[in-house]
Structures are given as C-alpha cells and as structure tokens.
Amino acid sequence: MALKAVLFDFNGIIINDEPIHEQLIEEILIAENLRPKRGEFRKYCLGRSDRACLSDLFSRRGRVLTESYLNQLISRKAKAYQQHIAQMAELPIYPGLEDLILKLQAANLKIGLVTGALRSEVEIVLNRANLAQYFAVMSTSDDLKVSKPEPDGYLLAVELLNQEFANLDLQPSECLAVEDTPAGITAAKRAGMQVLGVANTFPFHMIQRQANWTVDYFWDLELERIQEVFSQEKFQPTVTEC
C-alpha cells in the first residue's frame, strides 16, 4: 500500500475562521430571539456543517426547522461570511500550509478538500489566497446532506479523484486526511483513512489520542516518515467516536 492522496479539511485547517463562524451563528440565534449558550458552538458545530450545527442548536431549544427555513438560515450565514471575508485586509491562512502543499505536489500526491462548508465559502477563500489551483477535487456540503462525523464526504472525494485521474484506482486506505476536530477525525477513520491531526482548534493531547499522527504546525510534518509507514504496513484504522 502506498500513500496516493492527501485530503484537507477547510475550516480550522486551511483558514483560521472558527471565531467568525461562532460569531455568525450567535447572530442568527439572536435574530431568532434565541440566546446563545457558552460552549455550544464548540460542542455542536466544530467540524460539522452549518446544516447539522443549526439543526442541533434549534432542536435543543425546542424548535424544529423546516427544510426551507433551514436553507434560508444557511444562505443568510453564507452571505454574512462572504461579506466578512471580503472586508478582511489579510486572510488568516494557517502558516506553513502552502509550503506543505508544494511538498505534496513534489511527491506526486493528489490533493483534495473535504469540508462541511459551502462551496461558495471555500471558493472565495481559496481564490483570494491563490490556493484554488492546488486542489484537484472538493467535497463540500453542497454535495451531501450528511455531515461529519459521517464518512460520506471522504468517500465522495475518493470517487471524484478516481473520476478526475484515469488509472489512479484510489482506495480510502491510500489517503491521508488532515483534520483538526474529533468529528473530522472520526469521519476520515470511518471512511478507512489514516489521519494527520493538527492542533489548531483542540489541544495537542486531545488530537493525539485520536489521530494517527499529530503536529502543532504544518512545518512539523515529516512526510517521508508517513509515506514509509504507508508503504510498509497494511493499515486498518481504528474508529474513535467523537
């Protein structure tokens, strides 16, 4: 078995925008005459799609959202996010990210993105940061109704890469996922992938207990070591529930 592809999460891995999302979610709750509660965003939203996040937050308050109204809330938040990003003088892209991507390219590894964010949110960031050209495929919440920790987004990315590259014959076990949350790590492992955990959002010791490899910063990654492990063993990922 060899490492063939690296699949990145978006929020908390590409861009440090979790505080922006928390603010926008709180604004939605307040506009709906609901009071934000401390710790809820971290528990119900980190690593998950807006659809899953908002559904859970409203359900905990005894409100069931129709599909139509939920879509309106998601659209409202997406517009606010894009406006916020457009007003920023400099995007908070994580340091060392582009250097890592270039290292992956030099190793002839396919690069994709798997996220619960909307494609419009992803594209505005990647285009402005001049990173869009590096990602061969993207699996976003526009493509699937389910959210991490379900594995569907990662499995879709494998399918898309196989469609994009003839004769790749990519299997989930030949992919490395790059994640920062328990929900994301669980999703990748359920898909049959190994995981690089980056301690951007949760403490190193929490991520280390769940990921196969853990780093504080992208420049700490030893790609050659990971490739060696892939080439030497047949890995069976252990699923850690979040």
Question: Residues 6 or more apart from 135 whose CB is under 8 A from it?
Answer: 8, 111, 112, 113, 126
Instruction: Summarize pLDDT for 79-89 with one digit per residue, the tens.
Output: 999 999 999 99
What is the mean pLDDT of the segment spanning 34-45? 94
**CB 168 within 8 Å of CB 110:** yes
Instruction: Summarize pLDDT for 140-149 with one digit per residue, the tens.
Output: 999 998 999 9
What is the mean pLDDT of the segment spanning 176-199? 98
| Residue 240, pLDDT above cutoff 90 | no
Q: Which two tokens stand for residue 202?
A: 């949760």
Give the per-residue pLDDT at 110.
Answer: 98
pLDDT cut 90: percent of the chain above it: 94
Give the pLDDT band (50/70/90) at residue 13. very high
Give the per-residue pLDDT at 234.
Answer: 60
Give the per-residue pLDDT at 233.
Answer: 66
| Residue 239, pLDDT above cutoff 70 | no
Instruction: Summarize pLDDT for 54-78 with one digit per residue, the tens.
Output: 999 999 999 999 999 999 999 999 9
Give the per-residue pLDDT at 176.
Answer: 98
| Residue 192, pLDDT above cutoff 90 | yes
What domains does the chain contain, in order, with CATH numbers? Answer: 5-16+94-232 (3.40.50.1000), 18-87 (1.10.150)
What does pLDDT average to over the chain?
Answer: 94
Element (H, E) at 101: helix 97-106
Question: Residues 6 or more apart from 48 whose CB is under 8 A from it?
Answer: 116, 147, 148, 149, 183
Give the per-residue pLDDT at 89.
Answer: 95
Q: Which residue has the tokens 């196969």?
A: 212
Q: How far is it, in rounded angstroms, from Cα 214 to Cα 220?
A: 9
Q: How far is it, in rounded angstroms, from Cα 95 to Cα 219?
A: 8
What is the mean pLDDT of the segment spanning 87-112? 97
Give the per-residue pLDDT at 241.
Answer: 39
